């Protein structure tokens, strides 16, 4: 892995850990702060909404900044936010700290994706993005299980202190490894917002929202599901989260290769597979071994769709890649918030934890439908171009 991509991956590791570790600590945080599990689950939604709101704001703030300076500044926000999480005296202060932390997320991955793609040959752009997102998947392999174990042993605040140290290490890696001068694509940020008039861009953002909601409507509550439905002990849950993280790592690498091969066809196949595996999980969650197998496969599929979607938005918005890539991260996290909220609403309405996979299935079906629409519009546009060329000839 080239050193600049390694630096981006380390930063992605820290961001991914702070985003996802809260799910492993959900019962601990709920008990310590005296709130219900659905209320603690809203900390996931709060973070995700922070990304969604912060993405366009930070895109504007960092638009004219050198790329390296922008990425370093965003890591500074990350470090401060995690320190506030570690010292938060109550639920609402923790919620505010999570939102502050989240503000750096969308812009960092948006700018980082474009930087990563520009560092390699054109035929390896999706794989370069996948390499950066390897940090995010490793956060689920190492950061989340180890952070969960640390939080169970020493209190959830200790986890956020360690994540703060990871942020400092990532800032150091970015300072040393990123080139001082990274080429910026000349563009007006206000002109870039015109990309939102493109229906294809809006469709991709919608796919990202629904695909992410499909995952988080279930995964936000994975710890209580594994403890109360499957029958795992808290320590065994940590191992299952590690298995899920391994699946994410495999999926991210697989998704990068598929995106460089057949972008839309791969995305459609992956979404159908997600529908099938979540349907299967509704049955296998009641038995430990089948549940573990299903969770690993689910992990592979859940992150295999990330590089294709990130590459698709960059392709659909070639005149505004930084903004579109950043907004796509906001879309992913709007999906995170929506999924966590839908899962919490279902539980609050009296539904059992065992019914949550069906919420995920509905969201994945919606994402599949939008992808079919995007592919259809793509074919129609190609036919129109061929017809135009034929008439000109």
Using one digit for the tens of pLDDT, what is the confidence trace for 316-363? 776 666 677 777 877 887 887 788 888 888 888 888 888 899 999 999
Average pLDDT value over all residues in the chain: 83
Report yes or no on 184 lying in a domain. no
| Total domains in the fold of the chain | 1
Residue 188 — very low, low, confident or very high, per pLDDT cuts 50/70/90?
low
Name the residue with higher pLDDT: 61 or 162. 162
d(CA 361, CA 349): 19
CA dihedral of residues 255, 272, 359, 377 (deg, nearest 10): 90
**What is the domain extent for residue 163?**
3-179+189-392
Report yes or no on 239 lying in a domain. yes
CATH number, domain of 128, equals 1.20.1250.20
Report yes or no on 279 lying in a domain. yes
CB atoms within 10 A of CB 390: 8
pLDDT at 290 (0 to 100): 93
Largest CA distance in the chain: 73
Angstrom CA distances, 304 to 20, 245, 252, 336, 380, stand at 17, 12, 5, 16, 27
Closest Cα partner for 174 from 45, 75, 50? 75
Report yes or no on 309 lying in a domain. yes
User: Using an 8 Å Cβ cutoff, are 320 and 195 in contact?
Assistant: yes
Name the residue with higher pLDDT: 390 or 247. 247
d(CA 264, CA 270): 10
Average pLDDT over residues 223-236: 86
Closest Cα partner for 244 from 335, 143, 161, 106? 143
CA angle 263, 58, 102 (to 5 degrees): 80
Report yes or no on 131 lying in a domain. yes
User: Using an 8 Å Cβ cutoff, are 28 and 238 in contact?
Assistant: no
pLDDT at 289 (0 to 100): 92
Q: For 262, left (φ over 0), alpha (ψ -120 to 50), or beta?
A: beta
pTM: 0.73
Q: Which tokens is 104 given?
A: 């750096």
Q: What is the DSSP letter of 119?
A: T
> Three-state SS for 246?
helix
Report yes or no on 112 lying in a domain. yes
- Which of the residue ranges 145-154, 285-294, 298-307, 325-334 has the most confident prediction, judged by mean pLDDT? 285-294
What is the tens place of the pLDDT at every residue in 85-126? 999 888 999 999 998 888 888 788 878 877 777 777 766 766
d(CA 344, CA 359): 11
d(CA 248, CA 305): 10
User: Using an 8 Å Cβ cutoff, are 48 and 40 in contact?
Assistant: no
What is the tens place of the pLDDT at every residue in 170-184? 998 888 888 776 665
pLDDT at 213 (0 to 100): 92
Q: Measured on CA atoms in the order 297, 299, 302, 303, is the torsion positive or negative?
A: negative
User: Using an 8 Å Cβ cutoff, are 195 and 189 in contact?
Assistant: no
């Amino acid at each position: 892995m080239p050193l600049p991509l390694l630096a981006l991956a380390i930063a992605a590791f820290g961001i991914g850990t702070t985003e996802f570790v809260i799910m492993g600590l959900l019962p601990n945080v709920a008990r310590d702060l005296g709130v219900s599990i659905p209320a603690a689950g809203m900390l996931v939604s709060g973070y995700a909404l922070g990304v969604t709101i912060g993405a366009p704001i930070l895109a504007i703030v960092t638009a004219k900044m050198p790329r390296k300076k922008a990425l370093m500044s965003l890591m500074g926000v990350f470090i401060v936010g995690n320190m506030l999480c570690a010292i938060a005296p109550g639920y609402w202060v923790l919620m505010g700290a999570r939102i502050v932390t989240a503000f750096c997320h969308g812009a960092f991955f948006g700018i980082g994706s474009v930087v990563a793609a520009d560092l390699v040959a054109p035929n390896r752009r999706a794989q370069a993005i996948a390499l950066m997102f390897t940090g995010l998947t490793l956060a689920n392999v190492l950061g989340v299980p180890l952070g969960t174990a640390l939080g169970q042993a020493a209190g959830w605040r200790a986890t956020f202190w360690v994540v703060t140290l990871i942020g400092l290490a990532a800032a150091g890696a970015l300072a040393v490894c990123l080139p001082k001068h990274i080429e910026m694509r000349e563009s007006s940020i206000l002109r870039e917002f015109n990309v939102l008039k493109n229906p294809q861009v809006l469709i991709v953002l919608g796919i990202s929202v629904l695909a992410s909601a499909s995952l988080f409507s279930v995964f936000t509550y994975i710890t209580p599901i594994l403890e109360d439905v499957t029958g795992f002990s808290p320590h065994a849950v940590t191992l299952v989260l590690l298995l899920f993280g391994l699946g994410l790592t495999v999926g991210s690498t697989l998704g990068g290769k598929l995106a460089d091969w057949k972008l839309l066809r791969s995305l459609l196949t992956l979404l159908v597979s997600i529908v099938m595996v979540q349907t299967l999980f509704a049955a296998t969650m009641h038995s430990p071994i089948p549940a573990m197998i299903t969770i690993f496969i689910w992990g592979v599929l859940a992150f295999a769709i990330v590089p294709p979607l990130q590459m698709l938005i960059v392709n659909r918005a070639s005149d505004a890649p930084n903004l579109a890539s950043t907004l796509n991260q906001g879309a992913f996290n709007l999906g995170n918030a929506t999924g966590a909220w839908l899962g919490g609403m279902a539980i609050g309405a009296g539904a059992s934890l065992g019914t949550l996979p069906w919420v995920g299935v509905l969201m994945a079906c919606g994402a599949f439908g939008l992808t079919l629409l995007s592919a259809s519009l793509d074919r129609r546009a190609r036919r129109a171009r061929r017809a135009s060329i034929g008439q000109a000839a």
